[in-house]
Amino acid sequence: MALLGGEPFPDALVMWWNFVGRTHDEIVAAWHDWNGRTGRFAEVPGHDTRIPAPPMPEVRLTPRMRTA
């Protein structure tokens, strides 16, 4: 179990699947790096299978500000 806390990010964020970024393009880059196994995301010892990210939605993802 982990507890994370701190000040909210001041920027609007884009969240999709397991990715968080500031722009649609950052999410697309993370998606390519995850599915392409570029080395950006480390392997987990003892787990040989990586769950592929689903296809990107056919819409442009937009940042949203925290509302609460």
For residue 1, what pLDDT band results from cuts at 50, 70 and 90?
confident
Tell me how many helices (H) and strands (E) the chain has: 1, 2
Residue 26 CB neighbours (<10 A): 15
Which residue in this structure is represented by tokens 């964020």? 13
Q: C-alpha angle with apex 64: 61 to 68, nearest 5 degrees?
A: 150
The pTM for the full model equals: 0.80
Domain around 29: 11-39+54-68
Q: What is the pLDDT of residue 50?
A: 86
Domain count, the chain: 1
Is 59 contained in some domain? yes
d(CA 53, CA 41): 13
| Of 68 and 47, the one with more pLDDT | 47
State yes or no: pLDDT of 68 exceeds 70: no
Is 62 contained in some domain? yes
Which amino acid, residue 17? W
Token pair in block for residue 34:
């995850």
